[in-house]
Amino acid sequence: MILALASAAWAQAPQEAPGDVAVLKAELERVKADLEAVKRQLEQVLRQVGQEPRQGGGAQGGPVRTSVADAPTRGRAEAPVTLVEFSDYQCPFCQRFFATTLPILMQEYVDTGKVRYVFRDFPLDQLHPKARKAAEASHCAGEQGKYWEMHDVIFRNQRALAAPQLAEHAQSVGVERAKFDECLASGRYEARVARGLADGAEVGVRGTPTFVVGRAKAGDVVEGTAIRGAQPLETFRRIIEQALAEQTASRP
């Protein structure tokens, strides 16, 4: 229906100025691309739902537990609430969260010491074949203290993730090229990325992004509420505020 309406609008464009025709054509292409991304992700989710048994806990919306051991973090380690994101560097919905929602959450909660933010890799290989290597590249940049800079530049250049482009991104954030190339070629972060997939599967992740909001427990474990998808900002605010209130109420 959306494509039919867009096509009809485009068909009427010749009566507009040439510049308007070009704008409308570009907009139509953008709509097509967005719909195709939605279609691919929906197909992946439906395949996984059909293949995986439903379990209690995270898959049903109850409390979930996940490890955050060795995962990159932002914010105060002792923050009362932790927000864990399972993400895919090629996922358009993950990029949308990165660009629109995360900056506000960082300003309101992470920078103020209320929330610790943790990023876990969950590349959907069938949909996004370059996401896994991009995840490894971010960890390679992290060896030189540039993990988050690399994380950000990858999301800002989501359609440029071939190996030579990843190396260019690394250089742009100040990473030494030779060391980065050696790291990426060695595959030494393959196991860490695989752990993100395994931990996400235990939580019930079936699509990206998926989040866990809760309190840190002993053994680098976070227990809390799952948020599935790039939900509106107010959804994150509501669940974070609830978790903060629970923490305050539980204090002696």
The one-letter amino acid at 112:
T
User: What is the full per-residue pLDDT of the chain (252 aa) written as tens digits?
Assistant: 443 434 433 333 444 455 666 766 766 676 666 666 655 655 554 444 333 333 333 333 578 999 999 999 999 999 999 999 999 999 999 999 999 999 999 999 999 999 999 999 999 999 999 999 999 999 999 999 999 999 999 999 999 999 999 999 999 999 999 999 999 999 999 999 999 999 999 999 999 999 999 999 988 999 999 999 999 999 999 999 999 999 877 766
193 and 114, same structural domain?
A: yes
Residue 171's domain is classified under what CATH number? 3.40.30.10
Secondary structure element (H or E) that encloses residue 80, with its range:
none
Mapped onto helix, strand or coil, the DSSP state of residue 231 is coil
pTM of this prediction?
Answer: 0.77
Structural domain of 32: 2-51
Give how many domains the chain has, as a whole number: 2
24 and 132, same structural domain?
A: no
Which residues of the chain form beta strands (DSSP E)? 64-67, 73-74, 81-87, 115-121, 210-217, 221-228
What are the structure tokens assigned to 29, written together?
Answer: 């292409």
